Structure 1
Amino acid sequence: MTHRPRSLSRPSLIGDTLVVPRDHDVIVYAPSRAQMCRVPTDPRSDLALHARLTAAGFFAPMPMSIAPEVGPPVFRSLTLLLTRACNLACRYCYASARPGGPAMPRALATDAVDTYLDQLPGTIARITFHGGEPTLEADTIRSVVDRVTSARPGVPHRYLITTNGTCDPSFLDWMVAEQFGISISIDGPPDVQDRNRPFADGSPSSPVVRATIERLVAQQAPFTVRMTYTATDDIDRTIGYFADLGVRSIHLEPLFPYGREFDDPSTGPLPLAAPRGEDLVPAFVRALDLCRARGLRVVNSHFANFSRPAGYFCGSICGRAMFVTHDGLLTGCLEVVDGADPLAPTFTLGRWRPTTHDFELDPVALDRLRGRHADTLDPCRSCFARYHCAGGCAVKAVRGQGSLDERDRPYCAFTKAFVPILTERIAADHGL
């Protein structure tokens, strides 16, 4: 039996093309151009094959969109972190939101919308509402929609919201009428949901969230459920529960070891499994198969960067997305939720100026975060999956590894294990 040299048994990236060795052949795949083939030998060791594949369009340079961002930011989207308040007490909440937390002043929301719209380069306006629990600030959400309508009549717009699914039914109906993209955070059947995401007083949230989902299904309104899973969860049971409720779209993300309970030893042992990235892959692959069998669509952050490789993990860290906290910070990460966060000095990109109704940008801070690029991070620059991961979440890297120049290790391990599997699945789906 002939064995490949160890260096040729691992996936690699040549130009814009993944080279993924399998048991008996090699998959060659350029995701950004949806170009794929199987070949009998590895083009890294077969010069003639490499030349033929190059002539066919493989191994081209990465598109310029991968390059590091420079110059003033152009925000393609706006996310408003409306409040630190929440009526749930999720065990893994990165924001540690609680009842009675502070909320965004209406004037700040208005100035953020105006600033965003004034610089929007003639494309669709995308505005997302986040929290805490954003529906606790329903009046502010309505005012933002009114502001966009009056300030930019005729400009296409898209509103998105991530909610815990406990809002007043009349406000839910209003969001449906306004064609919001609604994402409901729910982790599974009642015992799982109530373990992970109880109300702040400890009572179960599952009956209320289920009623919200049933209301959306009855109206045939499009929505997605966002579930956080661990390697020990019963994925079969969870997917079956959602499918039986009438859910058609699931945003599936792994649980990472950050949040109120992970950081608070007074709560005792946490009945949630903190992940090793590679351990999460079998459950995710199983979920894909189950969702396909039940006709459910799966959303995941890895999918977004697989067909459209990127040099940055997210838009906020490089100035493509405008994230505004309740206290007026331009934040480089959704998880740095206000100025009291210990990481605020690292991730603050600017501040609201209420007297001039605009925002002061810190270009030095922006350039520092833009430096965290797949081509510049030492652990990533030679990795075959660097444009599908880009080092993972910067905040998780700092919290987990202590450095902005490190990678988010669980996310990294998941990505390196999953990309070859996903490549194989795409090849099989296309009859290759």
Structure 2
Amino acid sequence: MKNLNGMHITLYVSGSIAAYKSAVLCRLLIKAGADVQVVLTAAAAQFVTPLTFQTLTQRPVLTDLFSATSEDPIKHISVADWTDIAIVAPASADLLAKMAHGLADDAASSTLLATVAPKFVAPAMNSHMWQNPATQRNVAQLRADGVHFIDPGVGFLAEGYSGSGRLAEPEAIVDALSDFIRTSGQQLLAGRTVLVSAGGTREAIDPVRYIGNRSSGKMGYALARAARALGAQVTLVTTAPLPDPSGIATVRVESAAQMQQEMTDRFATSDITLMAAAVADFAPAEVAKHKIKKQPDTTGLDLQLQKTPDILASLGKRKRSDQFLLGFAAETDDLLKNASAKLAAKGADMFAANDVSNPAIGFGSDNNRVTLLTKDEDPLQLETASKDDLALNILKQIAIKLRDN
């Protein structure tokens, strides 16, 4: 559940075909509890009318520097002072350039220049415009100035071809703002690289069937988002059919062998590795080339299974003293006993033990409860919480250990 209760969020909408998504974003922000003030550029008003946003927010939309009233003669300054978080979505190349160079020739650019609250931008433009060196110089300058970017995605563009430059989905933008608020802007993992695995592996029986488990990948995705919110550069290796999280390099795999390859390739350059995936313990020894048919003269099917690679243990053997490795122990019985045995055997620095037999906190649920086990320390139980909040708490504990070491 995204909680923006009481936050004053100013939504800037600039000229882009993606401006229609800003109405959806506005509605989601309000649904999450925020008070929203909208500022439209003249170009944006050609795509979505001020009346749309006024109806959604029940607040007058700021479009003109020179529409002052006796009640509020300096409207752009009062909006800037009112703002807790500013979000520009979509952010056009033109508005990014104005922000980077401190130009203030309309209501949006003037209000942004006067805003001292944290600023987020979600660019949207043609891929050639996004990749243009001038735009990238402006982006680099804004990042250096402390502006937070919700990077554009890759997909079908208005021009009729695919490329980078698509506006991030409204839900991803709300996630980014919510994560920032939950972390209070703390960049505890700034400069760190984090590698996360998520989801349950699928071990093929034939071209259409597989052995798997009930893992949804939600915990791994929550860890990846939390790490990014805390300032880390994050790579997510996943089997889960969930959307790619914004600003996170996402690598898709299916089997344990594929996951082992991708995790091993990236492990040496990662400061923190979070092995949240539920890797199948066994896989068919042979994969049928064609779909196995049900035969009328047989009553069953015998499968010869073999062990899958122990990814966590193999990473534990490679781990350097300056790296941190977290494993998960998804258990249905003897939780702490089983997790402690894994901690001793796998070479991890910490284990998060969770009881997946409880449907309220098991596979597929939105909540979780874990006990953190570290060598030579008492277990630390983290109370039941949303997976997003729990992920943040886990990473804060890791950040403390990294700082102390």
Question: Structures share a fold, TM > 0.5?
Answer: no
Give the TM-score of the pair, scaled to structure 1: 0.29
Judging by fraction of residues, say which structure has more strand.
2
With a CA cutoff of 8 Å and minimum separation of 6, indicate the structure with the bigger relative contact order.
1
Larger radius of gyration: 2
Give the TM-score of the pair, scaled to structure 2: 0.30
